[in-house]
């Protein structure tokens, strides 16, 4: 029997086990809020294609979150707070839309002025303006604000959909809102340029940025080589 079992295992290539689980968030009931019902679609895969003596096991789980049915709870304080949060998210979206329109308008006007400058220089002096001089008309801070506004708008919409339990894209929402927050705080640096002491530091950072990027590219090559070396050397001895 033992030899027969081993022969059966040696013929095993792949087995998948799928099952569903349902759960409920009981802690929300004490807060007089509609509880969340979770539906988990789980799949366990046993992969023996390599026939190396060790069967690899994979686990995949998809989650669907919805409000539980047949619940009637009214006058919930947390529901009112949720409505206030949704109103605040709507205000954030409108503010970002206004900022996005204004910054885009400024970039369009700067682009038109740049074209007029190039034509004037070509007609009066018969010379072409270099690419570096053309970039002087492009305000990088406005580009940063536009990117931040777009990410904030998309992230806020996803957040509202998650609050309404229509989506469960927590990772995408957190990445968009977190990155947009980083860009907003970086954009605050430009206001320090109005002070003489801080303006010297900002100009130094702008002048050294190309050299720092070149250094990062060179150091990145060494880091990638180190990473691939560790992956190849230590990979067979570690599951991750």
Regarding whether 85 and 42 lie in a shared domain, the answer is no
According to the model, what pLDDT value does residue 200 have?
85
Regarding whether 86 and 179 lie in a shared domain, the answer is yes
Regarding whether 206 and 166 lie in a shared domain, the answer is no
Q: Classify residue 164: in a domain, yes or no.
A: yes
Q: How many domains does the chain have?
A: 3
Regarding whether 130 and 42 lie in a shared domain, the answer is no
Last residue of a domain, one of 67, 90, 121: 67
Q: Classify residue 156: in a domain, yes or no.
A: yes
> Taking the model in full, what pTM does it have?
0.60
Regarding whether 47 and 84 lie in a shared domain, the answer is no
Regarding whether 109 and 4 lie in a shared domain, the answer is no
Regarding whether 109 and 56 lie in a shared domain, the answer is no
DSSP state, 236? G
Does the pLDDT of residue 41 top 50, yes or no?
A: yes
Regarding whether 50 and 80 lie in a shared domain, the answer is no
Distances 27 to 31, 36, 68, 85, 233 between C-alpha atoms, Å: 7, 10, 13, 21, 48
Q: What is the pLDDT of residues 56-65, one digit of tens each?
A: 888 888 887 7
Q: What is the pLDDT of residues 55-112, one digit of tens each?
A: 888 888 888 777 676 555 454 555 566 778 888 888 999 999 999 999 999 999 988 8
Q: Classify residue 239: in a domain, yes or no.
A: no
Q: Classify residue 25: in a domain, yes or no.
A: yes
List of residues 6+ apart from 114 with CB closer than 8 A: 134, 137, 138
Regarding whether 80 and 33 lie in a shared domain, the answer is no
Range of the domain at 110: 75-194
Find, among 63, 155, 150, 49, the residue nearest to 100 by Cα: 150
Whether 15 and 46 have beta carbons less than 8 Å apart is answered as yes
């Amino acid at each position: 029997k033992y030899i027969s079992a081993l022969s059966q295992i040696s013929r095993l290539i792949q087995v998948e086990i799928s099952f569903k689980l349902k759960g409920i968030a009981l802690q929300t009931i004490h807060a007089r809020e509609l509880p969340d019902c979770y539906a988990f679609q789980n799949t366990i895969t046993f992969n023996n294609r390599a026939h190396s003596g060790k069967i690899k096991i994979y686990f995949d789980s998809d989650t669907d979150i919805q409000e539980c049915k047949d619940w009637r709870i009214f006058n919930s304080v947390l529901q009112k707070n949720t409505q206030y949060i949704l109103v605040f998210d709507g205000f954030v979206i409108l503010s970002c839309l206004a900022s996005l329109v204004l910054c885009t308008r400024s970039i369009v006007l700067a682009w038109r002025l740049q074209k007029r400058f190039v034509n004037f220089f070509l007609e009066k002096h018969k010379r072409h303006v270099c690419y570096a001089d053309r970039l002087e008309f492009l305000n990088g801070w406005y580009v940063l604000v536009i990117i931040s506004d777009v990410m904030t708008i998309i992230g806020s919409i996803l957040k509202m959909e998650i609050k309404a339990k229509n989506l469960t894209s927590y990772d995408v929402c957190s990445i968009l809102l977190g990155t947009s927050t980083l860009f907003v705080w970086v954009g605050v640096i430009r206001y320090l340029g109005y002070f003489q002491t801080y303006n010297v530091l900002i100009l130094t950072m702008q002048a050294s940025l190309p050299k720092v990027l070149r250094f990062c590219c060179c150091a990145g090559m060494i880091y990638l080589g180190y990473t691939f070396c560790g992956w190849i050397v230590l990979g067979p001895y570690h599951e991750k």
